[in-house]
């Protein structure tokens, strides 16, 4: 079974600085998808970024980028120029389409951006 591990329960960063959230996963599959979701205090799940495992190029969405190391099974999220609105719980998730598009979530990392 696939597992996703987020080893940082809580992190904080100063506004405008850069922070990296770590995520590792365990799978024997070669074709899969990885996601980072943000859950702000409203508790609405928001997709931050997605990576297809067959793509070597790291995904980027504005201030958010990932460092995808397939061999190491690592998928970290870098947030540049942190903003107060980035304060949220961040979840790393794994999906194998052949398994019915189920998501396997990590435990989450609470990120606090300080002014």
Partner 1 sequence: GAVVSQHPSRVICKSGTSVKIECRSLDFQATTMFWYRQFPKQSLMLMATSNEGSKATYEQGVEKDKFLINHASLTLSTLTVTSAHPEDSSFYICSATIGGVNEQYFGPGTRLTVT
Q: Which is nearer to partner 1, 17 or 61 (CB)?
A: 61
CB of 45 to partner 1, least distance (A): 4
Q: Count of CB atoms within 10 A of residue 107's CB?
A: 13
Q: Least distance from C-beta 16 to partner 1, angstroms? A: 26
Which residues are near partner 1 by CB under 8 A?
A: 33, 35, 37, 42-45, 47, 50, 89, 91, 95, 97, 100-103, 105-108, 110
- Residue 43 CB, shortest distance to partner 1, in Å, is 5
Angle at 58 between CA 53 and CA 61, to 5 degrees: 115
| Residues 37, 48 contacting (CB under 8 angstroms) | yes
What residues are paired with 55 via a beta bridge?
A: none
């Amino acid at each position: 079974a696939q597992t996703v591990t987020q080893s940082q329960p809580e992190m904080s960063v100063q506004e405008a600085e850069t922070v990296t959230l770590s995520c590792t996963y365990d799978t024997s599959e070669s074709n899969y998808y990885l996601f980072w979701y943000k859950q702000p205090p409203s508790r609405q799940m928001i997709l931050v970024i997605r990576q297809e495992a067959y793509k070597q190029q790291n995904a980027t969405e504005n201030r958010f980028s990932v460092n995808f190391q397939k061999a190491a099974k690592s998928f970290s999220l870098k947030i540049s120029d942190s903003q107060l609105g980035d304060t949220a719980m961040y979840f790393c998730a794994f999906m194998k389409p052949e398994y019915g598009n189920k998501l396997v979530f990590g435990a989450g990392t609470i990120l606090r951006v300080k002014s």
